[in-house]
Chain A
Amino acid sequence: MSAAGARPASTSPRPPTDVSNPQYYHKVVDCQWACPAHTNVPEYIRLIAQGRYSDAYLLNRESNVFPGILGRTCDRPCEPACRRGRIDGKPVAICRLKRVAADHRGDVTDRLPKAPAEKNGKRVALIGAGPASLTVANDLMPLGYQVTILEKLAEPGGLMRINIPSFRLPAEVLDEEVGSILGMGVDIRYNSPVESMRTLLEDPWDAVFVGSGAPKGKDLEIPGRTEAAANIHIGIEWLASAHFGHIERIGERVLIIGVGNTAMDCCRTSRRLGGHDVKVIARRSRPYFKASPWELEDAEEEGIAIVENHAPKRFVLENGRLVGLELERLRWFDQNGRQKSEVVDTVVIPCDDVILAIGQDNAFPWIERDVGIDFDEHGMPIVDKTTMQCSRPGVFFGGDAAWGPENIIWAVEHGHQAAISIHQHCQSQPLSERPAYGMNLVSSKVGMHAWSYSNDYSPLPRTKMQHAELTKRFAGLGVEVELGFTAEETAREVERCLNCDIETHFTASLCIECDACIDVCPVNCLTIAPDVADDMDLRAWLSAPTMNPTQALYSSSPLPQTQRIMVKDEDVCLHCGLCAERCPTAAWDMRQFELLVPYALGRAASRLATVMPSFALPVTNQAVQNA
């Protein structure tokens, strides 16, 4: 074609993509790659589609430990990553499907991990009973560890219990999932705040894990703060007080400072405790908000106003009582690539109460600075990103305690990694040698034009979650807002998943270069191109212009007839399998990829090996099953 001149000539040969490395196909499964705990999302969605809710729940639990909790509260890094979002703008409702598995499962008690009666003689102390510590306990108990959790409150769960309002996360769900871990025989000591690390370490623990969170809400030191203290609250403390029933009312006019997810919980809780006129104050405009878009939507649905580009200046008092907040109205502009603001004018918004939700800090006043745990200039412990160990061997950090506020799913992953480290530490193995990931890759072909997955593309839009009516939901703090998906909604939503773990797998030696795959591909993923080494040079040859260079190019070894190479831009592949169906020589095949994630207990058992025993691999086998 005439554009041929714009394309670079072949320079040096390109090494074919190494699909025997588990991380290559793992990265194609965008949701699993984005999930800190690498949950096998497409497989659990297929299990849900088959009505196998218990199996879906257990598959989830293997990686993320708290499917019921996370199905309601997860920050969902998987959803912005979801390939479906790049196809029709809206990702699969992954998180809410997880909740479906949790809500509709049967009794799985017999299939949960158990602790052996005979212990291995190792004692581990976990500080705080939040998601990070609970994950460590979950991973270590089945290995025979004696695990002790030291919790300052009278209930387990950490921020999941006291900071996430029960209208988003009912107590029963939390109790059940936390209970399944503690029920393995964890020695949990309530009302036991750790006041001195030195004292704790005097006890001969084999390992100590700090999962105490980031419990200190940031304050806002502007004029009037001390005088109006009675009506100014720190977000996370206020949420905890609301949880414990220490406060039952708030003024009618409430201002929330900050626009993160804690602010969303504060404003919505205010609506349920008597706040009628609730506003959230944001320094910047919407694209810069920290809160998840869906949490913002839910807040606005409850009549909460969001005031953009305003910065608090002073608390306004009358007769010693808070009556308003003076704010500077800001205008943002670009200066040499940096966002700068200038004050336009000031306004006073009348209010009865102000809640500060401007961030959280870690606080470790209880860790003496001379016990061998090094801190940086910000007062944060220095923790190894891979091993979770601090400068004192045998002491580990995880969750918000490690590097500041993150989210539950990150805390879970920290817990898994810390458990691996603790297990290695207790066996005197070097922590830096992490157990390897494994993989399985099995053809999903089950007939001439039949696959073991639903390969047709569903054009339906994302299913909207139904919410409780506004009048009902304000009746009490514990009325759950999201109603969960019905069977029909579930059946519809599961079909939107593109099955990104069913990989397009190419065998170059079989290809006759008939172009059938290229011609049939609905999204122009495939190209037969000259053997060009450089990625960007190769992208110039693609059938459809490349939009997303972060997505890999899958390239083959030279093809038998012309020595060109097959190239696939992974970006918007529908995994519909038409390339494989139209391939006369089965050079293209649709193969189910399964990532075998290592845990303290060993590599996760292969589901594929259970379904197809001929592909079974021993759990400890480091070898990789490849075509």
Chain B
Amino acid sequence: MASITKPPVRHPSLPTNALGFTKRDYEGAMSTLCAGCGHDSVTAALVQALWELELPPHRAAKMSGIGCSSKTTAYFLRQSHGFNGVHGRMPALATGANAANRQLAYIGISGDGDSLSIGLGQLCHAIRRNLNMMYVLENNGVYGLTKGQFSASADVGSKSKRGEANVQPPIDPVLLALSLGATFVARSFSGDKAQLVPILKAAIRHNGFALIDVISPCVSFNDHETSTKSYRYTRNHYLEVAPVDFVPLRREIATEQGEDALTSVTMHDGSVVRFRKVANEYDPTNRDAAYAYLRARHAHGEVVTGLLHIDENAPDMHAVAGTVETPLVDLDFNALCPGGAALAELMDEYR
């Protein structure tokens, strides 16, 4: 909490994007999260990414469930669509919304409790369907809103603020997503916007389910010395294997000096994801290799980050189901509700 809201003035030289908006226009309400919360940095990274993407705010839908993380949707894009649903049920709501209108950019924000405990089944099926959305999992290893109990992502041996060690093995959302066939899997850190912002941009442009596991430390309950989700621990065990640049359609950016040829993946809409400094043995387009690599590095206690896996060729939910291109709201009544004869004809097919 802060005593005042963010003053309505901006830096006089703050640039505008093609829509004439400054970054400030992509902000939302004043955060009521604890001072120093990683989630607020994720919010700032989202604001930056959405501004750079020149996304019209009214063409986005923010989806969330319950938890500190799920409050985040209030803090950016004050002029977009949004739905704050029941605990762990955000993927189902997003599926419904996306089924009805596939032309919006779906931004789901969840946490390790919302996604890996109460909502784990929901998350798995959204991945399985390759729902076209960005799913940001703000991962801090604790239930911050209920004062710091271990969550399902807490590492074995990580100690609570009171000194108790966690004994249950964690669910790693990245390995989970890889094993379920996710088509865009990334891990990043709230304290590294240089890495996070391009990943967010690529995730929004990805045609399918994009999971981003963001280590986002809880300053109040999980930023102490014996925690494995603290700012310091994350920085000390940080291994950036697949950092990317996101190159929007028709905008070429000169290659940095001294860099060799880069792996690049062309996305559905023609934008390009360019991998910089990918570790030699790492191939972000090979799911099995990525899985093995991540398991191996994890055994060394390293937090592997970057855009870890991308597959631009898999069909999304609409392609599999063969649904109509036009949002339902834009269909004329006769097409949307073709009447009794059409229903009878359909029913006949099942006889």
A contacts, CB < 8 Å to B:
1-2, 4-5, 86-88, 449-451, 455-457, 459, 512-516, 518-520, 522-525, 544-545, 547, 561-562, 572, 574, 576-578, 581-585
Contact = CB atoms under 8 A, between A and B. Distances in A.
B12 A582 contact: no
Interface residues of B, number: 44
Interface string B220-261: 000100000001100100000000011100000110110000
Contacts of B2: 449, 520, 578, 581-582
B245 A449 contact: no
Nearest to A572: B11
B36 A516 contact: yes
A522 B219 contact: no
A523 B8 CA distance: 10
A514 B191 contact: yes
A583 B35 contact: yes
A544 B23 CA distance: 11
A457 B4 CA distance: 9
A514 B231 contact: yes
Interface in B152-207: 190-191, 193-194, 197-198
B216 to A, nearest CB: 10
Given A2-B245, A450-B3, A515-B44, A523 B223 contact: no
A523 B9 contact: yes
A457 B9 contact: yes
Interface string B253-272: 11011000000000000000
Contact of A5 (B34, B219, B256): B256
Contacts of A451: 3
B197 A1 contact: yes
B256 A515 contact: no
A519 B43 contact: yes
A574 B9 contact: yes
A583 B9 contact: no
A88 B41 contact: no
Contact of A574 (B7, B14, B223): B7
B12 A449 contact: no
Contacts of B15: 545
A87 B9 CA distance: 8
B146 interface: no
B13 interface: yes
A2 B247 contact: yes
A2 B198 CA distance: 8
Contact of B232 (A512, A520, A524, A525): A512
Given A457-B7, A512-B219, A576-B7, 4 more contacts: A2-B246, A5-B257, A87-B9, A545-B13
B351 interface: no
Contacts of A545: 13, 15
B38 interface: yes
B12 A572 contact: yes
23 contacts: A2-B198, A86-B12, A87-B12, A449-B1, A449-B3, A456-B7, A512-B232, A513-B231, A514-B219, A515-B41, A515-B44, A518-B44, A522-B7, A522-B24, A524-B10, A525-B11, A544-B13, A561-B231, A574-B9, A578-B2, A578-B4, A582-B40, A584-B35
Given A516-B41, A519-B41, A578-B4, A5 B254 contact: yes
Contacts of A512: 36, 219, 223, 231-232
A480 to B, nearest CB: 35
Please classify the interface of chain B as helix (H, G, I), strand (E, B), loop, or mixed, using the class held by over half of its residues. Answer: loop
Contacts of B7: 456-457, 459, 522, 574, 576
Given A450-B3, A520-B2, A583-B35, A514 B194 contact: no
Please classify the interface of chain A as helix (H, G, I), strand (E, B), loop, or mixed, using the class held by over half of its residues. Answer: loop
Contact of A581 (B35, B37, B38, B254): B35
Contacts of B14: 524, 544
A577 B24 CA distance: 18
A572 B194 CA distance: 24
Nearest to A585: B36
A459 B6 CA distance: 12
B34 A581 contact: no
A570 to B, nearest CB: 13
B235 A4 contact: no
A584 B4 contact: no
Nearest to A450: B3
A574 B1 CA distance: 19
B190 A561 contact: no
A516 B3 CA distance: 15
B113 interface: no
A578 B11 contact: no
A458 B245 CA distance: 40
A53 to B, nearest CB: 27
A482 B46 CA distance: 51
A451 B2 CA distance: 11
Nearest to B245: A2
Given A459-B9, A515-B191, A584-B219, A576 B231 contact: no
A450 B253 CA distance: 47
Interface in B133-150: none
Contacts of A515: 40-41, 44, 190-191, 193
A516 B190 CA distance: 10
A87 B14 CA distance: 12
A49 to B, nearest CB: 16
A1 B4 CA distance: 31
Contact of B256 (A4, A518, A544, A582): A4
A524 B41 contact: no
Nearest to A519: B44
Contacts of A522: 6-10, 24
A522 B256 CA distance: 32
